[in-house]
Structure formats: structure tokens, C-alpha cells
Amino acid sequence: MKQTSLDLNLSVMKTRKQVFLEEMEQIVPWQALVELIAPYYPQGRTGRPPFALETMLRIHCMQQWFSLGDLAMQEAFFDTPVYLHFAGLDPHGRLPDESTILRFGKTPSPRHRLEKHKLAEQILQTVNALLEQRGLLLRQGTAVDATLIAAAPSTKNKANSRDPEMHSSKKGNQWYFGMKAHIGVDADSGLVHTVRCTSGNVSDVVEGNSLLHGQEKDAFGDAGYQGVDKRDDALQQVAWHIAMRPSKRKALDKENNAIDALVDELERTKARIRAKVEHPFRVLKRQWGYVKTRYKGLAKNGAQIKTLFALSNLWMARRALMQMQGVRA
């Protein structure tokens, strides 16, 4: 017997990707970012008219969120209609190809637009200005840390060499080749306010003081920052709270010595504050899937990392931002 259709609309379910893009639509300061990039975007007075700047900016953000290269982004427009909708593109009209997407990040010279004009740094500042205006980014304390980003160790290229700006670093008993992303985060919210990118062999303590914005009273770091307050670039008004070395903490007699028990409790308190700095790293590597450098050189990779941390700040603060805007999460 032929079944009768109930004519149910089963298309009301939203995918996680669709929900995510709807949230980003609400909280990313698109107009402010467009105004920031507009002076460096081609006007299209000659040749084929360029795509709208906001469209290309949205495509660039989707590349960061979903870890898509230029060709993968072009192909995704045919596989994932939600990308077309988010970018404001007509599926029956002209779509950006791989070279168009690539050129968005470049000037007529070989250097990337974001790198040359330091727009990634300004994007982070623009996002943080919004967060500070909404009371989500405070200035009283900073937690600092660094993470290793792997680079391709292969020498199968024209120069027969690895990236000269990347170096090896040892963590535990394991050696890593690549770079480091050093960050300073708000000790209260965990939002990133400062990013520094160096080769992998640069010690954490060397960059410690450069991760402060200068307005904080307290700063927190793990045992790798021992001696940071004695360096020449140390700020006198900042009180550093550095973790005890694991071997010394392990030697504490917490059961029989009251002072040792208090010291251990203090270390626990410092560790809870320092834990905030791990949240942006989780978003960077797990949420955005950034575990390996995409380009050669510190400048290009540093520009991408700063953009990723700007987007991670919005992601981490999305619920508070949407609540302020009266949008139901």
C-alpha cells in the first residue's frame, strides 16, 4: 500500500556549522573591520570589478575558522551552501576563484597585505577595543604563556633547506621544529590582549615582559618565567607571581609542615589563575584546527596567528556579547 505523505518540513534543523556562522554574524564587528581594511583594498577602477570587501573579509574569516586553503575554500562554495549565504554570494552568479581569494591577502608586491600593513595586529586591537568597551576585557592582571607551533621539517624544496626562521626546541624529552606563539591574556576573562611570535628556540622568559600592556598590577606565569622580574625590561609597577618549580613543590611536606601546606595552597591559587591562558590555545588548536604553520617565515604566520586569536576572543566572549545585544544564544 502506498504511504501518504504527512508533508512534514524536516529542513528546520540547523547544523552546528550553521549555528556557528549565525553566532559569528552577530558578534564580529564587520563594519569596523571593513573600515580598517578599506584604505588598502583595490578600488576596481580598471579591469574586472572586485568582490565587495565585506564579502572577501567574510571568506577570509571562514578560512581561519574551518582551516581552509584558497583552493579548498573555492571548492567549499559548491559543497556547502551555508558558506555562500554567509559570504552574501549568489549561487547563480560569479563566485570567487582560488586566485581571487589568494589576492585578498596580497598587495601588488609579493608581501601579504595583512603582513605589510600590520592589519592583523590592528584587527586584534579593533576586536579588543570592542570587548573592553563592553566591559569584558579588564586591565588589572595578565597571565602569560607560550605554545609551540610545528613547521614543515622537509627539505624537499628548491633551496633544499628548512625554513630559516624556524628553529628546534626541546620540551621534555621531545624535540620540536617550528615557532612559538607567546600571548598575554586578561587574568579575569582569559581573552588575549598581546601576541608575540618568535622562532621555536626563544625562551619563554625572554618575551615575558613584552606580553604586558603596562596597565596591570599583577602578572602570572609558569615556572618557565622564573627571573622575569629581574630582567632589564621588567616593569617596576608589576608584581610577578611565578609558579614554583615542580621539583621544589613536590618536595613540600604538606602533611606535617603548616607553612609548606600554605605554600602549596598558594601554588594552587596561582595555577587556577594561570589556567585561563590555556583556553585561547585550545581554541586555536582544537576549535580552529591550527596545529601547523601554513606559510614560510615568521611574518606571514604571525599575521595569521594574530587574526586567529582575535577571532578566538570573539568566540570565547560570544555568549556575553550576544546577551548584551539581546540575541538568544
**Where is pLDDT greater, at 316 or 159?**
316
Residue labelled with grid coordinates 600593513: 117
Asked whether residue 88 falls in the same domain as residue 142, the answer is: no
How many angstroms separate the CA atoms of 240 and 262, rounded? 19
**Where is pLDDT greater, at 158 or 180?**
180
Boundary (domain end) residue, out of 49, 78, 104: 104
Asked whether residue 92 falls in the same domain as residue 173, the answer is: no
Asked whether residue 82 falls in the same domain as residue 156, the answer is: no
Do the domain assignments include residue 255?
Answer: yes
Give the range of the structural domain holding residue 46, as residue numbers without chain letter: 14-104
Out of 42-46, 129-133, 216-220, 301-305, least confident range? 42-46
Confidence band of 45 (pLDDT split at 50, 70, 90): low
Confidence band of 145 (pLDDT split at 50, 70, 90): very high
Asked whether residue 163 falls in the same domain as residue 212, the answer is: yes
Q: Are strands 218-221 and 239-242 parallel, antiparallel or unpaired?
A: parallel
Q: For 181-230, what is the HEC assignment?
A: EEEEEECCCCCEEEEEEEECCCCHHHHCHHHCCCCCCEEEECHHHCCHHH
Asked whether residue 146 falls in the same domain as residue 293, the answer is: yes
Residue labelled with grid coordinates 591550527: 290
Q: Rounded mean pLDDT of 212-233?
A: 94
Asked whether residue 91 falls in the same domain as residue 177, the answer is: no
Q: Is the dihedral of CA 45, 49, 54, 56 positive or negative?
A: negative
Boundary (domain end) residue, out of 53, 87, 104: 104
Do the domain assignments include residue 24?
Answer: yes
Confidence band of 208 (pLDDT split at 50, 70, 90): very high
Contacts of 232 (CB under 8 A, 6+ apart): none
pLDDT at 144: 97
* % the chain with pLDDT above 70: 90
Asked whether residue 96 falls in the same domain as residue 178, the answer is: no
Does the structure show a pLDDT above 60 at 4? Answer: no
Q: Rounded mean pLDDT of 173-177?
A: 89
Do the domain assignments include residue 266?
Answer: yes
**Grid coordinates representing 104?**
585578498
Q: What is the pLDDT of residues 236-249, one digit of tens each?
A: 999 999 999 999 99
Residue labelled with grid coordinates 596591570: 216
**Grid coordinates representing 92?**
547563480
Confidence band of 111 (pLDDT split at 50, 70, 90): very low
Does the structure show a pLDDT above 70 at 1? Answer: no
pLDDT at 107: 41
Do the domain assignments include residue 5?
Answer: no
Out of 60-64, 152-156, 175-179, least confident range? 152-156
Asked whether residue 161 falls in the same domain as residue 283, the answer is: yes
Do the domain assignments include residue 151?
Answer: yes
pLDDT at 47: 57
Does the structure show a pLDDT above 50 at 108? Answer: no
Do the domain assignments include residue 1?
Answer: no
Q: Rounded mean pLDDT of 173-179?
A: 91
Q: Which helix (DSSP H) or strand (DSSP E) does residue 263 occupy? A: helix 258-274
Does the structure show a pLDDT above 90 at 51? Answer: no
Going by C-alpha positions, the residue among 111, 189, 104, 103 that lies closest to residue 143 is 189
Q: The CATH number of the domain where 287 resides is what?
A: 3.30.420
Asked whether residue 309 falls in the same domain as residue 173, the answer is: yes
Do the domain assignments include residue 190?
Answer: yes
Boundary (domain end) residue, out of 52, 85, 104: 104
Q: Rounded mean pLDDT of 170-186?
A: 92
Coil, strand or helix at 259? helix
CA angle 316, 103, 24 (to 5 degrees): 20
Does the structure show a pLDDT above 50 at 217? Answer: yes
Asked whether residue 79 falls in the same domain as residue 174, the answer is: no
Do the domain assignments include residue 201?
Answer: yes
Does the structure show a pLDDT above 80 at 44? Answer: no
Asked whether residue 272 falls in the same domain as residue 170, the answer is: yes
Domain count, the chain: 2
CA 268 to chain centre: 27
Asked whether residue 300 falls in the same domain as residue 179, the answer is: yes
Q: Other CB atoms closer than 10 Å to residue 316's CB: what's the count?
A: 22
